[in-house]
Amino acid sequence: MTDVNKGREALEPLKLLEEKNKRLLDEWLDFPAHIHHSAFRMTDPPVERIKSRDSFLEMTKSLGIPGDRIVVAEKFAYGMGTATNGDRLILIWDAHTEYYSIQSWHIPEDKMLPIEHGPIIFPQYALPNEALGTCFNAIDIVVSPEQDLSPDLIKSSMPGHHLYGGRVFGEDISVVTSFTPDTEARERYFIYTASKEVLLRHLARVVGGIVTIETYYRLLMLPFPEFSQAVDQIHKLERGLLNRSLEITEELWTSDAKAVQTWLAHLTHDFMEASRFSEEMRFRLSASVPYSEILHATLHAQQEAPLPPFLPLYDYVHGSVSGVRDGYQQLLKRIDAFVADFQNIISVIRTRVNLMMQEQSLILEDQNLRLLANVDKTTKSQAILQHTVESLSVIVIAYYLSGLASYVFKALEKAGWLESATTASGLFVPISIVISLILTLVGGKLISKTMNAKQH
């Protein structure tokens, strides 16, 4: 069995326990209810996830929720407290990959008590003063005990000019909102139905659907301001690259080494900036595809039916995010193409540099060949000169030997020992040449031997 399979088997009981805890929580839920939901995006999820859970547990203790009514799992926790008047408060902490949420349910004991949007009215209730992360989603939901709410009553408690609503899950469960934040930066929702039994059966799903749609709608739209700026920035970068590429194309094959070096320096700096820009936008936009899929899957799962006179919920959400994911992906493709163009231009310049290096190498090789030819010519000239000197040396030595011998022959002729000194001198000339040649050869060998001995 692999380590991966062992890890999955070890996590399976935890998942089953968490699902069991969530089902137990669903049994506690009731209406009428006033619900606040707040989601916080974490900058360091592994650290802040644990800290947010600890902060949540401190919150439950400060509200006097007993330990036997607090359930804690790795990424999910909840607790339920009861006030002296019988009102219940259910607190839920839920952690995800890059955000966590805190959801508060105030369920009054008086089932006919009218509930209004705004602060939750429960003794000592308050969210942690310093919540970890940035709050990006805040919702205020009223699950009304009324079987029907008039459009005028709903409009009087909703900010904004337009109301959106529908019946969900194929049941007579009405959901209405304006998609406009109130003064507390919360979007308000009304949930009401003609059948209490139907709503109780679907209550967790209805609230969960609202929360999921709002959360992933906002996660999908969070990077939109950066996306708009990035579109302008990539246009500016593309124009700059186009102008530089035109300049390089016109002057590349007539440029010198200094110009090429300047281009490479500028392009390298621009390429680093483009790569940083690319990675930053990829980090911000890479999750848009799964976010969009979760959002649209949840929208379709609502099985929304019309609720006159309100505008459809689906139309607002779908219309707001339509094309956003594709726009994000097109921008990433555009950035990739831009980076690829950068690499192509740098490759062309590098090719030019290689050709210039080859040209310099050929020039240097030609210079070396010429130098070698001159050295060879000089060597040959020196050899000829040396042979000439050696020949002259033989002649000079033979001349001096013949001169010395003539003096000896003349002396012998006067003494009567030699009949003709002139004849003897003539006959001695070849002999002197041979002696001179032998002396020259022997002397050359001795000199070479002495030079070799000094070198070693």
Higher-confidence residue of 95 and 411: namely: 95
Q: Predicted confidence band at 12 (pLDDT cuts at 50, 70, 90)?
A: very low
Asked whether residue 456 is assigned to any structural domain, the reply reads no
**In terms of domains, do 260 and 331 share one?**
yes
Judged on CB neighbours under 10 Å (0-12, 13-18, 19+), 77 is buried
Q: Which residue has the higher pLDDT, 147 or 64?
A: 64
- 81 and 145, same domain (yes or no): yes
Alpha helices in 302-323 (DSSP H): 313-321
Give the model confidence (pLDDT) of 114-168 as tens digits: 788 999 988 778 776 667 888 999 999 999 877 788 899 899 999 988 999 999 9
CA gyration radius, the chain: 50
H or E stretch including 182? none
The larger pLDDT score, comparing residue 19 to residue 422, is at 422
Which of 180, 197, 221 is the last residue before a domain boundary?
221
Full-prediction pTM beyond 0.85?
A: no
The reply to whether 174 and 119 lie within a common domain is yes
Q: Please indicate, yes or no, if residue 168 is contained in any of the structural domains.
A: yes
Query: Within this chain, do residues 52 and 90 fall inside the same structural domain, yes or no?
Result: yes
Strand ranges inside 13-57, DSSP E: 33-41
Residues 376 and 430 in one domain: yes
Residues 88 and 110 in one domain: yes
Classify residue 309: in a domain, yes or no. no
Residues 296 and 353 placed together within one structural domain of the fold: yes
**Host domain of residue 436:** 371-447
Residue 426 lies in a domain: yes
Please give the full DSSP string across 155-173, using - where no structure is assigned. Answer: HHT--SS--EEEE-TTSSE
Q: Is residue 455 part of a domain?
A: no
Average pLDDT over residues 177-189: 94
Provide the pLDDT for residue 92.
Answer: 92
Whether the pLDDT of residue 1 is over 60: the answer is no
- Number of domains observed in the structure of the chain: 3
- 92 forms beta bridges with 78, 103
Is the pLDDT at 389 greater than 70? The verdict is no
330 with 214, same domain: the answer is no
Q: How confident is the model at residue 20 (pLDDT cuts 50, 70, 90)?
A: very low
* 166/26 same-domain check: yes
In the structure encoding, which two tokens stand for residue 239, read together?
Answer: 């124009």
Condensed to tens digits (0 to 9), the pLDDT of residues 259-287 reads: 777 777 777 777 788 888 888 888 888 88
- Is 333 within a domain? yes
Q: Are both 215 and 234 inside the same structural domain?
A: no
pLDDT recorded at residue 38:
94
For tokens 């921008």, name the residue.
Answer: 331
- Top mean pLDDT of 60-64, 385-389, 391-395, 428-432 is at 60-64
* 453 assigned to some structural domain: no
Region 240-252 average pLDDT: 76
Q: What tens digit of pLDDT does each residue of 33-63 get?
A: 999 999 999 989 889 999 999 999 988 888 8
Judge if 143 and 242 occupy the same domain: no
Lowest mean pLDDT among 200-204, 377-381, 390-394, 415-419: 390-394
The answer to whether position 171 is within a domain reads yes
Residues 281 and 184 in one domain: no
Give the CA distances from residue 395 to residues 92, 398, 404, 428, 432, in Å, rounded to whole numbers and listed in that order.
122, 5, 14, 14, 9
DSSP notation for 101-163: EEEEEEE-S-TT----SSS--STT----SS-SSEEEEEEEEEE-S-S---HHHHHHT--SS--
How far is the CA of 336 from the CAs of 24, 124, 274, 330, in angstroms? 49, 54, 10, 10
Residue 30, pLDDT above cutoff 80:
yes
pLDDT at res. 105: 92
Residue 81 has pLDDT above 50, yes or no: yes
Q: How many CB atoms lie within 10 A of CB 142?
A: 23
Residue 23's pLDDT band, with cuts at 50, 70 and 90, is low
Tokens of 283: 């980090």
Share of the chain above pLDDT 70, in %: 88
